[in-house]
């Protein structure tokens, strides 16, 4: 079973700053099968990125995904107040799994 490890656990940043979130897989993951979600308190998750780097419908271009093999990154170029949330990576295809999440909090 592939395990996804996200780091850091918590990222403390100010609005306007750049956020870089990491997702590392225990085995190589096809880039086609890596997604990122955002979850705010009391809300369902929202799909941000699929296929490692494709933005979902309606997602602002300040969100970008990259990576391949075992190392993937979600970058938020300039944090807006509404971007402070928890972010999860997900490997899909076959048995799916989520990372444990990274919380982006206001510094």
Partner 1 sequence: EVQLVQSGAEVKKPGESLKISCKGSRNAFTSYWIGWVRQMPGKGLEWMGIIYPDDSDTRYSPSFQGQVTFSADKSITTAYLQWSSLKASDTAMYYCARHTVPGTDHDAFDIWGQGTMVTVSS
Binding region for partner 1 (CB under 8 A) = 1, 32-33, 35, 37, 39, 44-47, 50, 56-57, 88, 90, 92-101
Least spacing, CB of residue 75 vs partner 1, in Å? 18
Least spacing, CB of residue 81 vs partner 1, in Å? 23
Cβ-based nearer residue to partner 1, 83 or 90 = 90
Whether 59 contacts 49, CB under 8 Å: yes
Cβ-based nearer residue to partner 1, 15 or 54 = 54
Whether 3 contacts 15, CB under 8 Å: no
CA distance 104 to 101: 10
CA distance 107 to 100: 21
Least spacing, CB of residue 16 vs partner 1, in Å? 28
Tokens 């419908």, located at residue: 57
């Amino acid at each position: 079973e592939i395990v996804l490890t996200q780091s850091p656990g918590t990222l403390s940043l100010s609005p306007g700053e750049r956020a870089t979130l990491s997702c590392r897989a225990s085995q190589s993951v096809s880039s086609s099968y890596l997604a990122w979600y955002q979850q705010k308190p009391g809300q369902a998750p929202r799909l941000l990125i699929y296929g490692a780097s494709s933005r979902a419908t309606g997602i602002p271009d300040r969100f970008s995904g990259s990576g391949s093999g075992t190392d993937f990154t979600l970058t938020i170029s300039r944090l807006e107040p509404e971007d402070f949330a928890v972010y999860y990576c997900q490997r899909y295809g076959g048995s799916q799994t989520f990372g444990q999440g990274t919380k982006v909090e206001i510094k």
